[in-house]
Each structure stands twice: as C-alpha cells, then as structure tokens.
Amino acid sequence: MELGLWGDLMLIAPITANTLSKLASGACDNFLLATFLSAKCPVMLAPAMDLDMYSNSATQDNLDVLKKRGITVLDSPSGELASGLCGKGRMEEPEEIANAIEDFFTSNKPLTGRKALVTAGPTYENIDPVRFIGNYSSGKMGFAIAEALSNQGAQVTLVSGPSALQNTNPDIKLIKVTSALEMMEACENAFPTVNITVMAAAVSDYRPRVTADSKIKREKKGAFSIDLIPNPDIIKTLGSAKTDSQYLLGFALETNNAEENAKKKIISKNLDAIVLNSLKEKGAGFGVDTNKISIIDSDNKITRFELKSKADVASDIVDFIITRTSK
C-alpha cells in the first residue's frame, strides 16, 4: 500500500473500539486497516468512544497490545460524551493532537538541540556608491543547506550576502550582509555557540583599499586601476578557533587539480571536511539548480555523489554531517 510507505506518521483520529480491536488482531477488511498493516511509519491513535466501552477490559487489553507494539496512544480525556454519560472516552482536543504531532517530530530529529551556522551567496565589495566587486553566486546552495539542517532539527543561523532568495522558514534566522567584513563579523558573533558550521558563501578574496564617497568619474584617457587589499579568510579564522566539539565544513570550487587543492584546504583552514564542486562538471556550480559534489574527509576519504538538485545535494551533505557528528 503506497500510502503506508509514503507517510512520515499515520494518525487515526478518532479511532473506535471496533477499529482498535481490529488493529490489535491484525484484521485487514478495509482500506484503513490495509494501510495500517503496510505502514512503515510510526502510528498514533486518538481513541473516542463511550465511557463503558473505553473502560471495558477488552478495549484496555487492545490498547495495551498496541502500545507494546510501539504505537502511540493519546489520552482520552474525561468529559461529557455523546451518550450523555460523563467520563473518560472523549477524543483528545485537536490542538492537543497537533501538539503531540509537533512534539513527535521535533524530539525525534537527529539534530534536535544542535545549533548550526551557514554562509551563503556572494559578497559585494563597494568601489563607490554605485559599483562593487562581486561574483555570480546565487545563494541557492547555502539556502538549501540551511533548510536541510533545519528540517533535521537544528537551530540555524544563515548569514547571506546579497541574494534574490527569500527565507520562508521561520525557524531559520537570516542575517543579511553585504561585504566580507560584515560576513566575518556576523560569523564570529555566532560561531562560539554553534555545533555545526557550513560555509557555502563565495567570499570576495579582495576589496578596494578605499571606497569612494561619490561616484568615480570616467578618466578622460588611459587605464584606470583600483588598489585592492585582501579580505580575511572567514573560514580559516573560524577554523583556528574551532573546538573538538565543533564541526566545520567548507566548499571548494576548483578548476584544476581539484582534489589535491581541496585536500590542502582541509589542512590549511583546519576543516573537518570539504565539499568539492568542479566548474568542469556540466550542471554544477553557480546559478544553476543542480550540483555534482564530492565530499572529502579530514582523513582524505572521498565520497562521490551523482548530479542532483541543490535541495537533494543539501540533504546528502546534511546526512553526511549527521553520520560524522553522531559517533
């Protein structure tokens, strides 16, 4: 039964004494029971019946059998029943059922209780009030990673350079920055309290030594040059402050000697792993919705992945982090 395989949770609300007895005995004479028997997901029940039916030992035995099989049985509160009797047997209030579902999902996620920091997008380094040095990073990969970490229960801070993307997830705290220096400040503030950091931003390596206060006029003749100074390497700064309980993952976008260069960056920036995406791969890199990655561990082990949507690539990266941080 496709439905039983598809769901993340099966809730039967209300469930009658008759259906409870069929679940306990393994009967399969209707659609609901067939779905229940083939379900691979957890099951939650909200019984609703008259007082005497609820307290009958046959019903209570059925409930015990189902609980022993790992099924969650919600309370049936006391109150006025359809028969006019007063006592236990009412279906749990819908708000309480919704709370139970929320608790179920939040307390069963692998990254519940962990904090994560993600960087995304480009940085813009201002030349004057109307011009900047930037790059083609869209922010898609970093936003997808923030979403995937949040889906697994992490409390996420996303520091993003200028991007057209919107954050629609209320559980992700988005800090918008423009320049590398602003990104650095936001990351240094967040880093001491986070467990997992993923740096997917394409940070500008240089910035103009001076940002002009007014628009620079075109020179009448000859060449024009801008004096550039290096930006701080944000991930390297965080890497040197990293403790044993913090996991730091970087990105590398290489055009030649990709794996060798990525391995060197793990050491020079004190990373736990690096995600390598080569610009040579069709469908990988800036702007597009897909990516093809390899992840290199600090012990130089390489895990290669197929070309996938950035959302699926983000899930792969987060699954990888979960396996490496739950030892």
3-state class (DSSP) for residue 129: coil
* Phi/psi at 276 (5° precision): -105, 120
Q: Which is nearer to ligand C5P, 52 or 205 (CB)?
A: 205
Q: Which is nearer to ligand C5P, 22 or 292 (CB)?
A: 292
Question: Whole-number minimum distance, CB 198 to ligand C5P, in Å?
Answer: 8
Residues in Cβ contact with 49 at an 8 Å cutoff, skipping those fewer than 6 apart: 16, 17, 59, 76, 89
Question: Whole-number minimum distance, CB 15 to ligand C5P, in Å?
Answer: 51
Q: What is the DSSP letter of 256?
A: S
* Contact pattern from residue 222 through residue 241 relative to ligand C5P, giving x for each residue in contact according to CB under 6 A and a dash for the rest: ---------x-xxx------
* Contact pattern from residue 249 through residue 288 relative to ligand C5P, giving x for each residue in contact according to CB under 6 A and a dash for the rest: -xxx------------x-----------------------
* Contact pattern from residue 106 through residue 125 relative to ligand C5P, giving x for each residue in contact according to CB under 6 A and a dash for the rest: -------------x------
8 Å CB contact between 122 and 140: no
Residues in Cβ contact with 114 at an 8 Å cutoff, skipping those fewer than 6 apart: 153, 154, 155, 195, 196, 325
Question: Whole-number minimum distance, CB 199 to ligand C5P, in Å?
Answer: 4
Note the residue count of the chain. 327
8 Å CB contact between 253 and 277: yes
By the rule CB under 6 A, 180 interacts with ligand C5P: yes
Q: How far apart are CA 149 and CA 115, in angstroms?
A: 9
Please identify which residue in 203, 258, 295, 322 interacts with ligand C5P, judged by CB under 6 A: 203
Question: Whole-number minimum distance, CB 119 to ligand C5P, in Å?
Answer: 6
Residues in Cβ contact with 59 at an 8 Å cutoff, skipping those fewer than 6 apart: 17, 20, 21, 47, 49, 53
Q: Which of 126, 135, 261, 270 is catalytic?
A: 135
CA-based end-to-end distance of the chain? 35
Question: Whole-number minimum distance, CB 120 to ligand C5P, in Å?
Answer: 9
Strand arrangement of the beta sheet that strand 72-73 belongs to:
10-15, 43-47, 72-73
* Contact pattern from residue 133 through residue 172 relative to ligand C5P, giving x for each residue in contact according to CB under 6 A and a dash for the rest: ----------------------------------------
Q: Which is nearer to ligand C5P, 172 or 273 (CB)?
A: 273
Q: Which is nearer to ligand C5P, 94 or 192 (CB)?
A: 192
Q: Which is nearer to ligand C5P, 71 or 203 (CB)?
A: 203
Question: Whole-number minimum distance, CB 123 to ligand C5P, in Å?
Answer: 8
**Pick from 15, 19, 10: which is nearest to 42 by CA?**
10
The reply to whether 135 belongs to the active site is yes
**Pick from 326, 196, 203, 201: which is nearest to 273 by CA?**
196
Binding-site ranges for ligand C5P (CB under 6 A): 119, 180, 199, 201, 203, 205, 231, 233-235, 250-252, 265
Instruction: Give me the active site residues, please.
Output: 135
